Copies of this chain bind each other. A is one copy, B any other.
Amino acid sequence: MRNKRDVYLDDRPWEEALAGFLEHLTAKGSLSPGAAEEISVEQALGRVTAEPIFAINSSPHYNASAMDGIAVDSALTFGASDASPKRIQLGEKAQVVDTGDPIPAGCDAVIMIEDVHFVEDEIFEITSAAAPWQHVRAIGEDVIATEMILPANHRIRPMDIGGILAGGVTRVKVHPKPKVALLPTGTELVQPGVDLKPGDIVEYNTRVFGALVESWGGEALRWPITVDNWEKLKDSLLQAVEQADIVVINAGSSAGREDFTAELIRELGTVLTHGAAIKPGKPVILGEIMGKPVIGVPGYPVSAYLTMELFVRPVVYQKLGSVPPQPQTTEAIISRKMPSPMGVEEFIRVKMGQVGEKIIATPISRGAGVIMSLVRADGILRIPRLSEGFRAGETVKVELMRPLEEVRQTTVVIGSHDMALDILANHLRRRFPEASLSSANVGSLGGLSAIKRGECHLAGTHLLDEDTGDYNISYIQRLLGDRPVVLLNLVYRQQGLMVAKGNPLKIKGLEDLAREGMRFINRQRGAGTRILLDYRLKQLGINPDNIYGYNREEYTHMAVAAAVASGAADAGLGILAAANALDLDFVPVVEERYDLCIPGEYWDTPYIQRLLEVIATKEFRQQVEALGGYDLRDCGKVMYRQGV
């Protein structure tokens, strides 16, 4: 067993590490584009010019009529007026032309067809004179031979193709696409689609990298998986250095047992940086072997994605003679406190939505292993190295991961989780392609608090009033005072205990939770399910202290189900749909009501009205019912309203 636990990681600001890296590579000549490729203009979309493109011919290459009409010698028309119209006979100095036709010799102007009146077959009348050169597109009006159409290092757009062809150029010299070798390494990696054993990790990072490289204008060369073996990794690396312009090694960049990437790069070349002051992505390696940039990218998918963006993207763009475009940004109000350690630049994925006049940003999982945090993110919030984070309500700058216009069209729902919301999100997008639904799961009370703070368009809530047996209304009155709201039912649903398939512990109800050896998994404080549990436990006279795992909290039904499915817990309270999804048994405990609480000011906006339209469709209802455990008898019905 190699022991490299004492590997020391640098802690450099990433800009400094990148600048040093680029400087080193520039000195080695590694960032110059390769020899230019000559390609057909029609293939050139998105490619980058290797040299300026000069026009070979002018366009138009002759004096052309700019109108349908009659080309004339303007001298013939002088003196024509309403008072004294002039008659002209078609002939050498008055010829019918269409747009684009050459101006005949002897003519120097065009009269629009609308302005002539034929009095005989060959004789027309005009009531105003033609100025010399009127309605004539002079030679070179668009492009003049020898003029520069595009400079070097220009990424070719659709209109550029027109300009180039107008200038008579049909083949162009472009920079070759930088070849980026992507080396997945790790004995634990398996290819997508195989049956998974515990400990297997699906190798998808290099697929994501490949798509990134392609979108930047590079060419991705995906290598086979290399196991954690010094000689094999060395062979792969040397091969990659030989065949590619840039080499990315995925994983093997932290300080773990089999992480010898940095040592290997050092043996074959130079390590410039191992470790940057970023989170996630800290253990990145920036190195160089035989003049080729070699980047060690950490294994966790979010770390990997961010280090690709920070360190590989600028190298690819430099090899194309250009700089990466700046991200679009927006100002947003951060909805929760977001502390961050000093000395590290942190990259937080956020969901966003426009609520009233403000764009609200809500942080999502910080886990570097959660690729879905990137899939779900609307933007990335950077917490600077010398900051300790942000206070709730602070205005921050967010880099957009989808267009601001889309963010603005997003209905933001915060509160309790229900799978019907996923189905709603999907049908919403089908029916209204411009719209989307963004949901943050913080429990029912959290949702009502979010309404109070003006952070969402609606909240999903299923809060039982222990005195009246009714749902939500007393909580709304207590938490939101007389603020105008509409409470709309979405579903009734079964809550019950999710237990392992076959119910091996023979759990019959909540009474069994206090049994010796039983391991429970709970929902977080404030969640409607948690309140329901506490209410029932009290009724049954069960002391929560006697339930092992009562304090272990998960934030969604599915997370609870997953804990049971994995054997980490024996039972958890949740909905049938979640149990079904993970093939668990389900012991019904109660039917409960799940409502949507909508502030009055949003009721008449598209954010809500689009949802109402979708909720009313047969397709939505059928798909929810098919999940099982749902009753839609009051779906879309207003259960309560105040001040609206």
A39 touches B (CB below 8 Å): no
Chain B residues, CB < 8 A from A340: none
Residues in chain B near residue A258, CB distance under 8 A: 98
Residues of B within 8 A of A425 (CB): 148, 151
Q: Check A337 for interface membership: any CB of B closer than 8 A.
A: no
Q: Is A322 an interface position by the 8 A CB rule?
A: yes
Alpha-carbon distance A200/B147, docked complex (angstroms): 21
Q: Copies per complex?
A: 2
Candidates B208, B323, B367, B568; contact of A63 at CB < 8 Å:
B568
Instruction: Say whether, besides A151-B425, A170-B193, A425-B151, A161 and B211 are in contact (CB < 8 Å).
Output: yes
**A566-B158 in contact (CB<8A):** no
Given the complex, which residues of B lie within 8 Å of A166, measured CB to CB?
202, 204, 301, 371-372
Chain A residues 100 to 145 lying within 8 A of chain B, measured CB to CB, are 100-102, 108, 113, 132-133, 137-145
Q: Does A146 contact B (CB under 8 A)?
A: yes
Give the contact stretch, choosing among A86-94, A429-437, A501-509, A602-610. A429-437
Q: Which residues of B contact A205 (CB under 8 A)?
A: 162
Interface residue? A12 (CB, 8 A) = no
A563 — which chain B residues lie within 8 A by C-beta?
138-139
What DSSP secondary structure best describes chain A's contact surface?
A: loop
The listed residue (B42, B215, B405, B422) touching A207 by CB distance below 8 A is: B42
Is A152 engaged at the interface, CB distance under 8 Å to the other chain?
A: yes
Other than the given A61-B200, A100-B201, 9 more pairs (CB < 8 A) read A45-B215, A61-B198, A62-B199, A68-B257, A98-B256, A99-B254, A101-B188, A144-B561, A166-B202
A residues sitting closer than 8 Å to B (CB atoms) are: 5, 41-42, 45, 52, 57-64, 66, 68, 96, 98-102, 108, 113, 132-133, 137-154, 157-163, 165-166, 168, 170, 188, 192-193, 196, 198-202, 204-205, 207-212, 214-215, 254-258, 299, 301, 305, 317-318, 321-323, 325-326, 328, 367, 369-372, 374-375, 403, 405-406, 422, 425-426, 429-430, 433-434, 436, 552, 558-559, 561-563, 565-566, 568, 581-582
Q: Which 7 A-B pairs have the closest CB atoms?
A: A140-B562, A165-B204, A158-B211, A146-B581, A139-B566, A163-B375, A62-B198
